[in-house]
Structure 1
């Protein structure tokens, strides 16, 4: 896992709206705190080597967003549209991301720590070295994805959909779910705990496991 390459001592205090000072909507080397961004519609914004601390995005649509070496701390990204994004060496820490749309995006070396992602759209993604730690992904659409070195640790996955996704090597054993939707023919190689295995036996085969 590669972490964001940021030297916070050299960051310049600013506002997210500094992005409009550049013709190509570029925001770089910034330290943003307690900013409120509402109903912004920007095509292909670029954010690099930046820390966003308690920045609230409300009703924003950032199609083809590019993030490189960025840290989000305690940000609210709920119900934003970040489809077709390119996200590289990025950390989301304690962020609220309910209903956020990342469809058709590329994520490489990305960490979600203690994030709320319920009802998010995470479909048709190309994910490489991505970690979800201590996060909630209830009712998340996680369909038709390409997975390479993906890790879920201590996450809430109830009613998550993982259809059209090859699950070989994926380990969900430390996570919790009452129900989950996956394709039987794509589940080979999935790692689960005994309780989860009992659910899958009932789900696919109608078998009830007695403890």
Structure 2
């Protein structure tokens, strides 16, 4: 069980849980902060208000899990995958994501503020009313993602292709500088025009 592995990791110097899998584990208000998860698979697990802050996820797979409202602030992700899972209301602020893959998952109301993304892929995920302020996005591939009502305050969207995404109701700064160089389709131009106060007739 994960709680047993966690106790062992806490007793060791490196705080590492590696080369294992967890299925059906349920944890509530557990402290998993600063743990290194390496080559670990989570499936059908449920985490309720658990603290994963400053933890590291290296070659980790999370599938069909629920970690809504958990704290992943200042966490580090590399070559990890989150698939068919729920992270609604989770806190990923100041996290670093490299080669992270998100698929078929929901992150409504989640907080990604001041996070960094590089060489990552997002497909068929919902980020409704989520927070992306002051985020660094580099080589992020987006497909069928929903950003309705998302906040991109002070996050440059230059060269990012949102043409296959929903971006209605997004929030940016008064200067609209975040939108410069953003790639959208013709239908989405109406949403952006609305931000700029332009009426299309």
TM-score under structure 1 length normalisation: 0.89
Contact residue 6 and residue 32 of structure 2 kept, 8 A:
no
Out of 139, 151, 164, the residue aligned to residue 161 of structure 1 is: 151
For residues 1-211 of structure 1, the aligned pairs below 5 Å read 14-22=1-9, 23=12, 24-183=14-173, 184-204=176-196, 206-210=197-201
Range moving further from structure 2, 187-196 or 102-111:
187-196
Shift of 1:15: 3.2
| Superposed CA offset, 1:10-54 (max 9, x none) | xxxx53531211224321000111111111123311100011111
Secondary structure at the counterpart of residue 193 of structure 2: helix
Distance 2:55 2:161 in 1: 29
Cα contact 2:136–2:155 (8 A) shared by 1: yes
Gapped regions of structure 1 (runs ≥ 5): 1-13
Secondary structure at the aligned position of 1:131 is classed as strand
Q: Distance in 1 between matches of 2:124 and 2:164?
A: 10
1:113-136 Cα deviation digits (max 9, x unpaired)? 000100000010111012111011
Q: Which has the higher strand share?
A: 1
TM-score (norm 2): 0.93
Q: Is the Cα–Cα contact under 8 Å of residues 38 and 57 in structure 2 kept in the other structure?
A: yes
- Asked if the contact 1:16–1:32 (Cα under 8 Å) also holds between the matched residues in 2, the reply is no
Q: Residues of 2 paired with 1:154 and 1:180: CA distance?
A: 16
Q: CA 1:17–1:57 in 2, change beyond 3 Å: closer, same or farther?
A: farther
Stretches of structure 2 lacking an aligned partner (at least 5 in a row): none
Residues of 2 paired with 1:65 and 1:108: CA distance?
A: 14
Aligned length: 196
- Structure 1 stretches of 4+ with a deviation exceeding 6 A read none
Shift of 1:194: 1.4
